[in-house]
Amino acid sequence: MSDLMDQQQYNCAVELTLSVIGGKWATIVLAHLKEGVHRYGALRRRIPAVSEKVLVQRLRGLEVSGLISRHSDGGNPPSVEYRLTPEGESLIPILEALHAWGEQRARRTGARIAPVAEAAGGGGR
């Protein structure tokens, strides 16, 4: 285990959690990854609003934090899979709570949530 010793002083536990999964995209990436293993391109299509640069940045950051793991087959054309590590899986209660609350709030406020766009071509039935 890489010991990522954190020398920062936090004034509450929530603050520490946010320092790991805070920001606009980290949690969203994790939320998709909790649904299973995904290739880089699959994540891109599921989160169309994020730019490639930021997506890669988040993936790297989450990897360093030990929440996700990256598996490349080294072949060509490249194929890279991302998945939650056991520690990443320990976030699932949070991710599900965030998801459930968002759905409830959407009902209350009338916000629209687009269905997940899974595949690139022709998947849409």
Q: Quick one: tokens of 84?
A: 């939650």
Give the contacts of 97 (CB within 8 A, at least 6 positions apart).
Answer: none
For 118, counting Cβ atoms within 10 Å of its Cβ (0-12 exposed, 13-18 middle, 19+ buried), the class is exposed
Q: Is 39 a residue that touches DNA (CB under 7 A)? A: yes
Q: Is 52 a residue that touches DNA (CB under 7 A)? A: yes
Nearer to a second copy, 72 or 120 (CB): 120
Q: Is 49 a residue that touches DNA (CB under 7 A)? A: yes
Note every long-range contact of 52-57, with CB atoms under 8 Å and residues 24 or more positions apart, other chains counting. Answer: 54/25, 55/25, 55/29
Where does this chain bind a second copy (CB under 8 A)? Answer: 3-18, 20, 22, 24, 27-28, 31-32, 46-49, 87, 90-91, 93-95, 97-106, 108-114, 116-117
The one among 20, 32, 34, 54 contacting DNA by CB under 7 A: 54
Report the nearest approach of DNA to the CB of residue 9 (Å). Answer: 14
